[in-house]
Every structure is written in C-alpha cells, then in structure tokens.
C-alpha cells in the first residue's frame, strides 16, 4: 500500500533535492537553509583532511543595528552582515595575519570580511555592500550561529 505524501513533505523533499544539487555543483561539504519555518542542514562526509575555502557573500539591510541607540537617519542606513552558517569566526586568514577588516575601514563589494570554519572547511565571507565598517560584533575565534550578526556597515 503506497502512502501519499502531504504537500509539506513533498516541499521538504524538493528542498533537500535542490540542496543536494547545490552542494554537488559548488563542492560544498555542509549546507543549511530555512524555508517557511523548516530548517534543513545537510553535511557530507569529506575524505580530504585539508581545509577547503568556500566563498559566501553577506550583507543584509537591517533597520536597527545592535549596540546602542543611534540617530533615526543614521540607524536606517546601517547594514548587518550575518553569518550564513554555524562555525568558528576568524577575523584573519592566519593567527599572525592582520584582520581582513577593521572598524572605520571602507569596504568594497566582494571584499572578504572574515572566515568561518565549519568542519575543517574555511568559508570566506564577502560583503555585498560598499560602505564603512561601523562595528565588529564577534570576537576572533568565537563560535557563531546561523544568521548571527557579525558586522555593522554604513553603506555608501
């Protein structure tokens, strides 16, 4: 007797298939997504012990930035760069290297702002906004969650 799938189950299977295709196309080891209250995380076993670098572009307009009150016009212009995944936040490519960005520094679109390590995979996080770094919200070497704010940027 064949069980009929509910609409929500069909949608979940469709999302999983799309995520698997994306992982294969991009060579990703881990992918997490949330859609209409359904959170799906896929991890693939990696045969390579060496870290790989993956690029992510981040920058989500946010009307209110954390860190205290700001003037309404200034506050509405802020953009929050958020973590696209769970992992460990690094401000530089190596412990003795300078940080990718500092407070007060101008950003260009596509510029690397940090690295998030997840399962020995080094993920470059890039800004999709042009602007100036107002605040770094996470300490170097700290764990971060999916969608956690990392930087506050004032766009140009």
pLDDT tens for each residue of 48-92: 555 555 555 555 444 444 444 444 555 568 999 999 999 999 999
Instruction: Say yes or no: domain 48-155 is CATH 2.40.50.100.
Output: yes
Are the C-beta atoms of 128 and 154 separated by less than 8 Å?
Answer: no
109 contacts: CB under 8 Å, gap ≥ 6: 127, 128, 129, 130
Distances (CA, A) of 24 to 13, 28, 37, 106: 17, 7, 25, 35
In this predicted model, which residue has the larger pLDDT, 5 or 138?
Answer: 138
129 phi and psi, to 5 degrees? -120, 150
Least confident of 15-24, 63-72, 114-123: 63-72
- The sign of the torsion formed by the CA atoms of 136, 141, 144, 147 equals positive
Dig out the tokens for 142 from the structure. 């700290």
Mean pLDDT of the chain: 78
Query: In which band, very low, low, confident or very high, does the pLDDT at 29 lie, cut at 50, 70 and 90?
Result: confident
The C-alpha atoms of residue 134 and residue 104 are separated, in whole angstroms, by 6
Q: What's the whole-model pTM score?
A: 0.56
The C-alpha atoms of residue 90 and residue 140 are separated, in whole angstroms, by 5
Where along the chain do its domains lie?
1-45, 48-155
Query: In which band, very low, low, confident or very high, does the pLDDT at 131 lie, cut at 50, 70 and 90?
Result: very high
Distances (CA, A) of 105 to 89, 120, 136: 19, 29, 11
Query: In which band, very low, low, confident or very high, does the pLDDT at 4 lie, cut at 50, 70 and 90?
Result: low
């Amino acid at each position: 007797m064949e069980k009929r799938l509910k609409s929500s189950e069909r949608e979940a299977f469709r999302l999983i298939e799309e995520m698997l295709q994306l992982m294969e196309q991009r060579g990703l080891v881990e992918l997490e997504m949330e859609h209409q209250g359904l959170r799906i995380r896929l991890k693939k076993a990696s045969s390579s012990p060496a870290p790989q670098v993956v690029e992510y572009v981040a920058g989500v307009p946010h009307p209110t930035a954390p860190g205290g009150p700001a003037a309404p016009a200034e506050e509405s212009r802020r953009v929050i760069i958020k973590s696209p995944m769970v992992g460990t936040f690094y401000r530089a490519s190596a412990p003795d290297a300078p940080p990718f960005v500092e407070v007060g520094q101008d950003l260009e679109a596509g510029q690397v702002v940090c690295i998030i390590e997840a399962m020995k995979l080094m993920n470059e996080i890039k800004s999709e906004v042009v602007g100036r770094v107002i605040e770094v919200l996470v300490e170097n070497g700290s764990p971060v969650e999916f969608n956690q704010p990392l930087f506050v940027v004032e766009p140009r």
